[in-house]
Amino acid sequence: MNLAYRWFCRLDLSDPVPNHSTFSKNRHGRFRESKLLRHLFEKTVARCIADGLVSGQRLAADASLIEADANKQNSTPKEYWDRSTIDPDDAPRAVKEYLDVLDDAAFGAASTVEPKFTSHSDPSSQWTAARKGPAFFSYSTNYLIDTDYSVIVDVEGTRSIRQAEVGSVRTMLDRIKEQHDIDPERLIADSAYGSGPMLGWLVDRDINPHIPVLDKAGRTDGTWSRIDFEWDPDNNQYICPEGEALKQFRRNYSDPNRGPSGKGVAKYQALKHTCQACPSKMKCCPNADARKITREEHEDARQVARDIAKTKQYAISMRLRKKVEMLFAHLKRILGLGRLRLRGPCGANDEFLLAATAQNLRKLAKIFPAPQQMRKA
């Protein structure tokens, strides 16, 4: 390996080697300030685009937990955690970074809920039991890939909570538009990304959400769910299976502020005497005088996603989604990134960027192998 490093650094066998701390000093200083690692990663993406490996049309996103370099023995339960006692001038680098990203949507501002434990050595890492085994401290690496050749078009490190992971997809989609002018036709993701606001954000940008809708309006008692009622946008009403209208307002208010705002949750209700006389009442609202339905702010976008879910293209997308998971499996099993070596959000981001760069370079080398050099006799 030492010979390989010498060859890589263009050092001759007798040349003096740099001090062992040179790389880490540069990483914390010049590399970080110049965003060298991100620049390097962007170069691999640009190369893949130039070589025709990225059409930018069918993108898939997902997140994976990577264990942080932190242990529970060196942590504080939330009842005793008080960040106001930290002296920033005397704190290690990872703790200073934690204080710096408290207002960052990918870290401190992602949720107001305090984690159950906070690590002393790396307080930005998230205590999580998301793998259904013993809980541990982790960061999430978020990938946005082009499904044509599984090229990673963007990567972002976040806290391991859903809000931060979903938010990172927006960041990445904005960034690839700016960096590479990529306007995807669709985004493929799992149901964690199927909330109303996320679907609304995608539909507003003309990106088709090939994402299972997160729908909490389903009923488990066998009675009809909201999905069984037809939405009539022209008249701002639902039509029930018996053909009756469920309206938000049944009279015209002189004060427009009392009318539908188009924001927040709207409630629709059938007429009491209609439901009382309905033969399907037991299947619809057995315990209420009349049926009520709520409609959320991004219901139009959710409906777009539901309609897409009935198409053949959606079935193809669900198969393509596995490509992100395969990249994560490769990241952990082949590249060995099961646990981070660097601490703090910057350290995690550096490792995620380098790993994604390596995966893209590997892809390029596999598809376009270097011409074999002839051995000299």
Site string for ligand SF4, 290-329 (x = CB under 6 A): -x--------------------------------------
Site string for ligand SF4, 257-286 (x = CB under 6 A): -------------x---xx--x-xx--xx-
In the complex, the smallest distance separating the C-beta of residue 69 from ligand SF4, rounded to whole angstroms, is 57
Are 148 and 73 within 8 A, CB to CB?
no
Tokens linked to 13: 């066998």
Which part of the chain contacts ligand SF4 (CB under 6 A), choosing from 95-103, 143-151, 167-175, 236-244? 236-244
Closest CA to 104 of 124, 77, 84: 124
The reply on whether position 236 binds ligand SF4 by CB under 6 A is: no
Tokens linked to 118: 């906070």
Residue pointed to by tokens 């013993």: 134
**Dihedral pair phi/psi, residue 238, rounded to 5°:** -100, 150
Amino acid found at 218: G
Query: Closest CB to ligand SF4 among 61 and 285?
Result: 285
The count of chain residues that interact with ligand SF4, using the rule CB under 6 A, is: 13
In the complex, the smallest distance separating the C-beta of residue 248 from ligand SF4, rounded to whole angstroms, is 14
In the complex, the smallest distance separating the C-beta of residue 227 from ligand SF4, rounded to whole angstroms, is 14
Closest CA to 324 of 160, 200, 141: 141
Residue pointed to by tokens 């995807």: 184
In the complex, the smallest distance separating the C-beta of residue 189 from ligand SF4, rounded to whole angstroms, is 34
Tokens linked to 262: 């188009």
CA contacts within 13 A on the Cβ side of 358: 15
In the complex, the smallest distance separating the C-beta of residue 302 from ligand SF4, rounded to whole angstroms, is 21
| Torsion (CA) 120, 126, 131, 136 in degrees, nearest 10 | 0
Query: Closest CB to ligand SF4 among 285 and 342?
Result: 285
Query: Closest CB to ligand SF4 among 275 and 356?
Result: 275
- H-type helices in 207-287, by residue range? 272-276, 281-284
In the complex, the smallest distance separating the C-beta of residue 265 from ligand SF4, rounded to whole angstroms, is 19
Are 142 and 151 within 8 A, CB to CB?
no
Which part of the chain contacts ligand SF4 (CB under 6 A), choosing from 22-30, 178-186, 234-242, 315-323? 234-242
**Footprint of ligand SF4 on this chain (CB under 6 A)?**
240-242, 244, 270, 274-275, 278, 280-281, 284-285, 291
